[in-house]
Structures are given as structure tokens and as C-alpha cells.
Amino acid sequence: MNNPEAILQHERVPQFACNWALFLDVDGTLLDIAQNPDGVTVSRELHSMLEVAHHLNSHAVALISGRNLSDLDRLFGPMHFPAAGQHGLERRDSLGHVTRATDRLNRISLAARALEQAARVREGILVEYKGLSLALHYRGAPELREWAEFTMRELLNRLGPEFRLIAGKMVYELKPGGRDKGTAIADFMMESPFAGRVPIFIGDDLTDEDGFTVVNRAGGHSIKVGHGDSLARWHLCDAHSVRRWLTAYIEFLKLGKL
């Protein structure tokens, strides 16, 4: 392929460069959103693409997700990529060292028990307790959106000002404040192999806006997937478009190695 970017002519994306640090959201970005978070699968093709990109990009590729690290490893293993899980509450650097914000574990655990009890009698509602954060999915019962928001705001009031409520695509999530996808990207950018490179972050949801803010301030490229207002400066249509973009980027990197 003499011009890898030719397949992206109808997308609004930056011109490829060989000095990028690549940060990728997972659900809705690399992967199509499923009815249930456990219902997604990662194709062998995507596994291979990420491993090749990681190798060709001098290992400066990281996953930035709302999922926890163990879930990311289940999906993308046996490769253990540098990654930020639970919206930055846990992070694994390129050497495999993991740091976690564990100072408010007891309170989020008690909130999880209360939420599971409240959701038990509501069909289509899914509670996802990730250890450091707590999500309430209503994709299976969209008519319960107001109940979901009210319930999570009540829990937020109980947890106190140190916690934050995040609204996503058919989900509300409670997490300790002070850490987010933006702070995770900023931490990566202070470490090898990301330091000195231009940050690129691709995401699709409201929870990715923190990452877009950090990348924009650093003079990088923020890419929004799908519709909706965003601070991102570039745009891809959907997860399929992201995978096509990643294919083209890999071809660009291969040409640079010739």
C-alpha cells in the first residue's frame, strides 16, 4: 500500500507521523458496544493489529478504559499492554508496574452492596462493581434512565464530595475523584517509551473528554468516535472506522521501517 491514508479519505483525522504515543479507549472505540460488557469479544485480527502496532510504534501504545486491568487482560491477553483501568484509578506502566488508588475502597464496597440490592428487582439493570469504581448499566432497560440517575446521585450524596458521578452511554458510574483518563495519559507521557512523543487519544464517550483535554493541551491529536459534542479536534465514524484507521497507521509504520 503506497498511501496508507488513502483508505481514510472520508474521515477527519490528522496526517500520520512516526513520533506518536497512541492511547486507545476500548468499548465503543476499538470494540463495538455490546448489550452487556461481558458480551464483547476481541477478534484474532484485532489482537494481531494491536501487537504489531505496539512493536512498530516502539511500544508507545496504551489502552485507556473504564474496564479494570484484569478485564482488559482477559480480552487482550496474553499480551499485557500498558493500560489505565477504571478511568485512571489503576494504571500499569510499560514495565508492568501497577499503581492503584485504594484509599476509599471500603466506601465504594458498601455502595456496591446497596446498589446491587436496589437493582435486584429491576429487570434489565446491570450493576458492575469493578473494585475501585461502580457502574450501573441501563442499556437493557432504557426506560429506567431517570431511576438510574436518581439512584446513583443518592449514592453519590452518601459517599461524599471525594467521589464523582460520570454519565456515559447508557451507564452511570461512581468513582473516587482526583484520577481520570486525562491524569492517566499525563502520567504515561512522563515515562518511557511515551515521553517526548506526540500524544494521540481516540475515544467515544463523555468519560474520554478528560483525556481529550490533556492531549489538546499537550499539542497532540484528540479523535472523537461517533456523534455528539466533544473537545476532540478530529473525528472517526465508529469502531469499524477506528480499526480501519489502525490498519492504515500500521501500514504507515511498516513503510517507515523499510
CATH number at residue 138: 3.90.1070
Structural domains of the chain, count: 2
Query: What DSSP string runs through 139-204?
Result: TT-GGGHHHHHHHHHHHHHHH-TTEEEEEETTEEEEEETT--HHHHHHHHTTSTTTTTSEEEEEE-
Give pLDDT, residue 8.
61
The residue behind cell 502520567 is: 187
Show pLDDT as tens, one digit a residue, over the chain (258 residues).
456 665 565 678 999 999 999 999 999 999 998 877 778 889 999 999 999 999 999 999 999 999 999 999 999 999 999 999 999 999 999 999 999 988 778 888 989 999 999 888 899 999 999 988 999 999 999 999 999 999 999 999 989 888 999 998 899 999 988 889 999 999 999 999 999 999 999 999 999 999 999 999 999 999 999 998 999 999 999 999 999 999 999 999 999 865
Q: First vs last Cα of the chain: how many Å apart?
A: 13
Residues 193 and 95 in one domain: yes
Q: Which domain holds residue 207?
A: 4-100+179-257
Residue 8 CB partners (closer than 8 Å, separation 6+): 244, 245, 248
Give pLDDT, residue 13.
93
Residues acting as catalytic residues: 25
Residues 172 and 127 in one domain: yes
Contact at 8 Å (CB) between 127 and 113?
no
**Listed residues 176, 204, 224: the one ending a domain:** 176
DSSP 115: H
**Listed residues 176, 193, 211: the one ending a domain:** 176
Question: pTM, whole model, 2 decimals?
Answer: 0.84
Residues 72 and 127 in one domain: no
CATH number at residue 72: 3.40.50.1000
Residues 192 and 163 in one domain: no
Distance CA 155, CA 144 (A): 17
**Listed residues 144, 176, 208: the one ending a domain:** 176
**CA 221 remoteness from chain centre:** 16
